[in-house]
Chains A and B, each alone.
Chain A
Amino acid sequence: MLTSESLKRIDREIAKYPAEQKQSAVMAALAIAQEEQGWLSSAAIEFVAGYLGMAPIAAYEVASFYNMYDLKPVGKYKVSVCTNLPCMLTGGVDAGEYLKTKLGIGYNETTPDGLITLKEGECMGACGDAPVMIVNNRRMCSWMNPEQIDKLLAELK
């Protein structure tokens, strides 16, 4: 299911916990699986659960709880816009709307070319930088006014 590199990384995570507490590594393991496959299919979740010796539904609980895990395929770039309260008050919603019109898609949709998926994100812990976005769960983008957004999109395309 997963490549040996991914399994090696998961093993490294497992090693951080006592041997009988393997399932403590579930969040990291799911993240590694998602990084390799682009999203978490049911098969991937079941594989990770089996690898950690836990019930598939227990891994699914985790995967469905956190919104940075994608249970459906996403585009090459996943842009998450924070619309939690502080961002919302400081232009987060407007940034989201601007992205929607620029890309011609709504939240949880992917551009027809499969390049960009737009998501509503949860607080990224940088309310002072609002509006904030995160690309592919890794790259934080701060002070995202329309100009900055254009720059970002140009870069992604």
Chain B
Amino acid sequence: MEIEIDGKMAQVPDGSTIMDAAQQVGAYIPHFCYHKKLSIAANCRMCLVQVEKAPKPLPACATPATNGMRVFTHSELAVKAQQGVMEFLLINHPLDCPICDQGGECQLQDLAVGYGNSASRFQEDKRVVFHKDVGPLISMQEMARCIHCTRCVRFGQEIAGVMELGMANRNMHAEIMTFVGRSIDSELSGNMIDLCPVGALTSKPFRYAARSWELGRRKSISPHDSIGANLTVQVKNGVVLRVLPRENEEVNECWISDKERFSYEALNSPARLTRPMVRVDGTLREVDWNSALDYVAHALKDIVATHGGESFAALSSPQATLEELYLLQKLTRGLGSGNVDFRPRRRDFSNDGQLGGIPWLGLRFSEIKDLDAALVVGSFLRKDHPLFAQRLRQLAKNWGQVSMLSVGGDDPLIDLHAQVTVSPADLPLALARVVKAAAQFQGETIPAGLDSVEADATSQAIARSLLERNKRAIFLGNAAEQSPQAAQLHALALELARLTGATCGFIGEAANSVGGHVAKALPTALNADEMFAQPRKAYILLGVEPELDCYNPQQAVAALKEAALVVMLTPFNDGAAREYADVLLPTTPFTETSGTFVNAEGRVQSFNGVVRPLGDARPGWKVLRVLGNLLALPGFDYDSSEQVRAEIVPAGEGFVGGLSNDLERGAWLLADAGEGLQRVTDVPIYFSDPLARRAPALQKTRDAVAPTARMNADTLAAIGVTDGVPVRVRQGTGEAVLTARFDETVPARCVRVAAGHPSTAALGAMFGAINVERA
């Protein structure tokens, strides 16, 4: 179809609007309510243009382009219409730009310069709109500025999947508000701040911190989840003041989650470790780098010399950079130890020797929208991977069928085709049912061990959606990877993929879940669980907080307390580390180091530091390099992190090679769940990593309320408690007193207790038996 815009011809597909065509030829049409990712509202009227033969100006965002249409975006009629709209928009808009946080980055301000008058003809009183309190992240302090574009409302409905803001009342009384003053709790809510074209919705933590023109804009990559969202980090005087999404259609589109947006506050936290510390006579004392590193090198040499290399273990967070992970495993192996791992939340490593390659998502993020059916197994999807959930949400809206097998019945805010919620121990059985149904539909022989499995109606519905549809995928979530039956779940998912022709993949726990494999930070001896189950003499911990980040914090902390040497490379100086660490080496968070993350789809994303390291903190790769040199290990002479990376991935490579989810020998053995209560563990979104845990604004949200013991009505009754009663929760030698909460989504004979919080750090494994009694 051909359409002429301001004399320029544009070829557009059927169903395009004038706005689409104008964007193609580079003609700018002013607009407020139009946003390419949201539905068309056409309520601001700013995009009025003149169309030949049309009697009135037409809104470009909502007028379909037709063949041979001639559009004038800057004709006298169009400009007059736009100026008229601008005059109306400004009638009730306060002229408070000098004290408005949006000043300098405000679409209304910019367009008013182009289309507004220098003085107003409106002599009457402007309307007054009361401020609202909607929680710790978004400020709705000056709602009189709102021009009712409803972008925030549509974002909630369409992208976040939950309508929290709405436009109440009518005409000049209309205002944006939440229902009876409730808070905005969506994990994607911060995007509304970006979408707001005026200063009505602003960032609460950033308010009055800086003007947009004072800020340096630096590119970076999110260190949190496995999506690897692209970020713009804004800096003033060497301090990170704001984080915004950097558009990358193939990764994060134009969104980021609130965790990515607001956890920067932790970077400037008073809890930052700025000087190395060494334990002298039982207390941690500040020392200089030379003494700290000398101390570590000598202590490590001594221990390895007396007890052998195997007495040393290294554990990294999966959020460490590729370079750090690589150097850590090189150092460990250089000391003659194979005890290195980067998967602290795992329990089942039995597939480690069977992997056909590096486990990954199985497809690219950009391919998700083309899927026809998807099955997610074992995931608290919305909170674990907000942007991945967002992509599946859009898929489900566009005729794709999304099903879930989960251990927590949290609403993913996705229009699900089918959902099964089972206890963690029954997750393999639930998946086996779908496998059996698929085998039956395909007329294939029933896979071994599944003879007695009954495929129920829901399993059949899931199997059918995977079979009847064209492009389909199976995704294993965090809970499936952390399960003690992870290897079985993997094997069953592969079998289901084989039967249905779907791809099988892992969503991945953290920023470098794929990168850790690429860096070979994998054990050749003791893995992340065994290195604590069989305590070692010396440990190096890189960016990991074992009491909060480990599968079994009880076991990890016990081993660390007994160890002769615990060296922590960490940006922070608080928390339980002070009880067991012998040396604290201040390393830098992602904003103060260069490095690389490899996201779940295998995309290699390198970034530079955006500010100088705080105090004496140093990038982790530099610390490990110097440590390697002091230990006289070969191959630690690097000048830059790029040199380290070049050893791991070839320069200029966009995606890593060797990705495969195949298993050489997959097996499953469906076991009975056994008697007694089981623990269902989620890692709440704002407890999941050291940065988020220390971000004050995030910690005030509803997602950061302290863990409770959630049970369904039967379980509550069996224990003899009711909602709100304190209960004593016990696992192994540890216990915690939590509040019992009624939650009908928790499976039978299960208690849901969150991990990653100090109040539950004394408890044991994330899966398995748990005791609950009235406190």
Q: Is the CB–CB distance between B166 and A61 below 8 Å?
A: yes
Q: Does B164 contact A (CB under 8 A)?
A: yes
Residue among A45, A46, A54, A55 with the most chain B CB within 10 A? A55
Q: Is the CB–CB distance between A64 and B170 below 8 Å?
A: yes
Q: Is the CB–CB distance between A57 and B170 below 8 Å?
A: no
- A57-B178, A57-B179 in contact; A65/B166 too (CB < 8 A)? no
**Which chain A residues lie closer than 8 Å to B163 at the CB level?**
54-55, 57-58
Q: Does B750 contact A (CB under 8 A)?
A: no
**Which chain B residues lie closer than 8 Å to A108 at the CB level?**
none
> Which A residues between 19 and 63 are near B, CB-CB below 8 angstroms?
42, 45-46, 54-58, 60-61
- A42-B179, A42-B180, A46-B179 in contact; A57/B169 too (CB < 8 A)? no
Bound: A54/B163 CA distance, A? 9
Residue among B165, B177, B179 with the most chain A CB within 10 A? B179
Bound: A55/B170 CA distance, A? 19
Bound: A92/B94 CA distance, A? 35
**Chain B contact residues, majority secondary structure:** mixed
Partner of A60, one of B157, B162, B170, B179: B179
Q: Is the CB–CB distance between B168 and A64 below 8 Å?
A: yes
Q: Does B167 contact A (CB under 8 A)?
A: yes
**Which chain B residues lie closer than 8 Å to A60 at the CB level?**
166, 168, 179-180
Residue ID in chain B nearest A45 by CB atoms: B179
Q: How large is the interface on B (under 10, 10 to 19, 20 to 34, 35 or more residues)?
A: 10 to 19
Residue ID in chain A nearest B178 by CB atoms: A57
Q: Is the CB–CB distance between A58 and B166 below 8 Å?
A: yes
Q: Is the CB–CB distance between B168 and A61 below 8 Å?
A: yes
Bound: A65/B173 CA distance, A? 10
Bound: A61/B150 CA distance, A? 13
Q: Is the CB–CB distance between A64 and B169 below 8 Å?
A: yes
Bound: A45/B167 CA distance, A? 15
Residue ID in chain A nearest B181 by CB atoms: A42
Q: Is the CB–CB distance between B162 and A61 below 8 Å?
A: no
Q: Could you give, for residues 89-124 of chain A, a 1 whenever the CB lies within 8 Å of some chain B CB and a 0 otherwise?
A: 000000000000000000000000000000000000
**Which chain B residues lie closer than 8 Å to A54 at the CB level?**
163
Bound: A102/B166 CA distance, A? 39
Bound: A57/B162 CA distance, A? 10
Bound: A73/B163 CA distance, A? 27
Residue ID in chain A nearest B164 by CB atoms: A57
Partner of A65, one of B157, B170, B178: B170
Q: Could you give, for residues 20-31 of chain B, a 1 whenever the CB lies within 8 Å of some chain A CB and a 0 otherwise?
A: 000000000000
Q: Tell me the minimal C-beta distance from A51 to chain B in angstroms.
A: 15
Q: Tell me the minimal C-beta distance from A88 to chain B in angstroms.
A: 17
Bound: A51/B451 CA distance, A? 42
Q: Which residues of A contact B (CB under 8 A)?
A: 42, 45-46, 54-58, 60-61, 64-65, 67
Shortest Cβ-Cβ A-B pairs, 5 listed: A57-B166, A55-B163, A56-B179, A57-B179, A64-B168
Q: 12 A-B pairs, CB-CB below 8 angstroms?
A: A42-B180, A55-B162, A55-B163, A55-B164, A56-B180, A57-B177, A60-B166, A60-B179, A60-B180, A61-B166, A64-B169, A67-B170
